[in-house]
Amino acid sequence: MSGRYETTVGLEIHVELATRSKMFCGCRVAFAGAPNSRVCPVCLGFPGTLPVANEKAVEHTLRIGLALGCDIAEHCLFHRKNYFYPDMPKNYQISQYDSPLCLRGHLDIPSKTGSKSIGITRVHIEEDTGKSQHVGGDGRIASSEYSLEDFNRAGTPLVEIVTEPDIESGEEATTFVTELRALLEALGVSDVRMDEGSLRVDANISVRRAGEIEHGTKVEVKNMNSIRSVGRALAFEEERQRRALDEGSPLVQETRHFDEKSGATSSMRSKEHAFDYRYFPEPDLVPLEPSAHWVADIQKTLPELPPERRQRFVSEYGLTPIDVGVLTASSSTAAWFEDAARAYAGDPKKIVNWIIADLFGLLNVAGIELSACRIAPPQLAALVTMVDAGTISGTQAKVVLAEMFRSGSPPREIVRAKGMEQVSDKGAIEAFIDEAIAENPDVADKVRGGNPGPLGFLVGQVMRKMNGQANPKVVNEILHAKLLS
């Protein structure tokens, strides 16, 4: 089926920059809080006030542009984007129009064939809007009676990243957003929380019959609030458009709204986006001309980026591409793994397995990120080392890990407190084995006669005598030596 169609996706991603103050005034940037408590005459658009651009926001945007391999404009302007919608008190949003700060870059994402380059059209600076709440009707804008505006968010520094239509499926879009998110996190320019709206994704998607030259009808999809919903919304839209092509029913160029619950997209009223923004250069802000010196300084301080890190994890730790993908999806996870692996003398693959198979499970249940976990990375290394040394069994280690996760105590302390230490000392174990053999002469004779079947019974007896703390491997070895050789 899918071979008959080609899907084309381009993304527009809005990222709130991690600055202390707003883009053009000194109001604090924060999530939530008392409505309209972080506003001032500038961001409320009072007549006679003047905006001044935040240097840190410009620097963050340059970092993003450089990390995406963009050309940095030697001269660029801010524009006013005029629109009549009450979420901006000024009736315009300051943005960049035909001269963005960063142009023509790319982001390389993992693909089935290894790596695929997705073109970046532009990266520009703008300011976020306030938050509207629609009252009455079904809560959506068209049926509401009136709206309430909180301008705390208005003026928050925002970057818009626009991709070329190089993405070919919802799955690839998901990978792109995951990669971009990891990149932004590594750059330290945003807290990239989709659930709090600091990373927002809109998509343009069209489907055409394979081999056709013209793109299909472009549909814009909005309201995708997690990386997962990007994949779901685009998969739904892909299928809807294919079916329309199959049935020969017309597709309309429109904006569609993704509904998290139903997993479906529905048409938004076309009036809502039929705007003429009447862009013109913002007279209150002078042009931006980042010096070559400033750009070079920022370039020098770029951290290791996810594509480089992925390659290094394969060559340095000998990990599989799948494991590397999981570990590098977030910079903090990658750093956590490295801290644990450096504290561990054995095969790093074991650390990876403990993180992916066990620790992620605990994080999932608790609903927290690895960075918020109470276990310090070297403590995981200590735990795995104790398993390697036979101090505790793998099963016991899982119990210890859960306790480390809960209390943050070091594994050695937990093992001691729970009396879990395995006895591997041969002399100590041998005494209990002799006792078990003496108490069960019939069983011992059967084994001596060449039937190893009842050996397990004797191992069980020894374990019981030692309250389960004997190292079963050592018990087995000694029993073998005594009865079967």
The residues binding Zn ion (CB under 5 A) are 25, 27, 40, 42-43
Closest CB to another protein among residues 43, 483: 43
Q: Which two tokens stand for residue 18?
A: 């991690």
Tokens 């809502």 correspond to 272
Using CB under 8 A as the binding rule, whether residue 258 contacts another protein is answered as no
**Count of residues binding another protein (CB under 8 A)?**
53
Using CB under 8 A as the binding rule, whether residue 35 contacts another protein is answered as yes
Q: How far is the CB of 187 from another protein (least distance, A)?
A: 16
Using CB under 8 A as the binding rule, whether residue 285 contacts another protein is answered as yes
Among 9, 11, 15, 57, binds another protein (CB under 8 A): 57
88 and 130 Cβ atoms separated by less than 8 Å: yes
Footprint on residues 69-108 left by another protein (CB under 8 A): 75, 77, 85-86
Q: Which two tokens stand for residue 84?
A: 């009549």
- CA atoms of 381 and 410, how far apart (whole Å): 11
Using CB under 8 A as the binding rule, whether residue 133 contacts another protein is answered as yes
271 binds, among Zn ion, another protein, none (CB under 5 to 8 A by kind): another protein
What one-letter code names the amino acid at 52?
V
Identify the DSSP state of 77: -
443 and 452 Cβ atoms separated by less than 8 Å: no
Q: Which two tokens stand for residue 448?
A: 């001596």
First-last CA distance in the chain: 65
Q: How far is the CB of 98 from another protein (least distance, A)?
A: 11
Closest CB to another protein among residues 146, 292: 146
SS3 at position 413:
helix
133 binds, among Zn ion, another protein, none (CB under 5 to 8 A by kind): another protein
Phi, psi of 120 (to 5 degrees): -110, 120
Tokens 């956590």 correspond to 336
Using CB under 8 A as the binding rule, whether residue 27 contacts another protein is answered as yes
Closest CB to another protein among residues 149, 164: 149
Q: How far is the CB of 149 from Zn ion (least distance, A)?
A: 15
Closest CB to Zn ion among residues 25, 437: 25
Phi, psi of 211 (to 5 degrees): 90, -15
- CA atoms of 395 and 2, how far apart (whole Å): 45
251 binds, among Zn ion, another protein, none (CB under 5 to 8 A by kind): none
Q: How far is the CB of 191 from another protein (least distance, A)?
A: 15
457 binds, among Zn ion, another protein, none (CB under 5 to 8 A by kind): none
37 and 151 Cβ atoms separated by less than 8 Å: no
Among 151, 258, 317, 337, binds another protein (CB under 8 A): 151
Q: Which long-range contacts does 84-88 make (Cβ < 8 Å, 24+ apart)?
A: 86/132, 86/147, 86/149, 87/129, 87/130, 87/131, 87/132, 87/149, 87/154, 88/45, 88/129, 88/130, 88/154
Closest CB to another protein among residues 142, 389: 142
- CA atoms of 310 and 318, how far apart (whole Å): 11
Closest CB to another protein among residues 77, 118: 77
Footprint on residues 390-429 left by another protein (CB under 8 A): none
The CA-atom distances, in angstroms, between 95 and each of 39, 146, 158, 286, 414 are 19, 28, 9, 13, 56
SS3 at position 236:
helix
Contact region for another protein (CB under 8 A) — 56-64, 183-191, 338-346, 473-481? 56-64
Using CB under 8 A as the binding rule, whether residue 171 contacts another protein is answered as no
Contact region for another protein (CB under 8 A) — 30-38, 114-122, 307-315, 318-326? 30-38
Q: How far is the CB of 91 from Zn ion (least distance, A)?
A: 16
Closest CB to another protein among residues 41, 188: 41
Tokens 């009450």 correspond to 86
The CA-atom distances, in angstroms, between 275 and each of 218, 251, 272, 278 are 17, 21, 8, 9
Using CB under 8 A as the binding rule, whether residue 41 contacts another protein is answered as yes
261 binds, among another protein, Zn ion, none (CB under 5 to 8 A by kind): none
Q: How far is the CB of 23 from another protein (least distance, A)?
A: 10
Among 269, 278, 374, 416, binds another protein (CB under 8 A): 269
The CA-atom distances, in angstroms, between 283 and each of 50, 51, 160, 236, 280 are 10, 10, 22, 44, 9
Closest CB to another protein among residues 105, 290: 290
Among 4, 117, 142, 188, binds another protein (CB under 8 A): 142
Dihedral (CA of 85, 96, 33, 365) sign: positive
Identify the DSSP state of 263: T
Q: How many residues does the chain have?
A: 485
247 binds, among another protein, Zn ion, none (CB under 5 to 8 A by kind): none
Closest CB to another protein among residues 159, 182: 159
Enumerate binding residues for another protein (CB under 8 A). 19-21, 25-28, 34-41, 44, 52-58, 75, 77, 85-86, 132-135, 141-151, 269, 271-272, 281, 283, 285-290
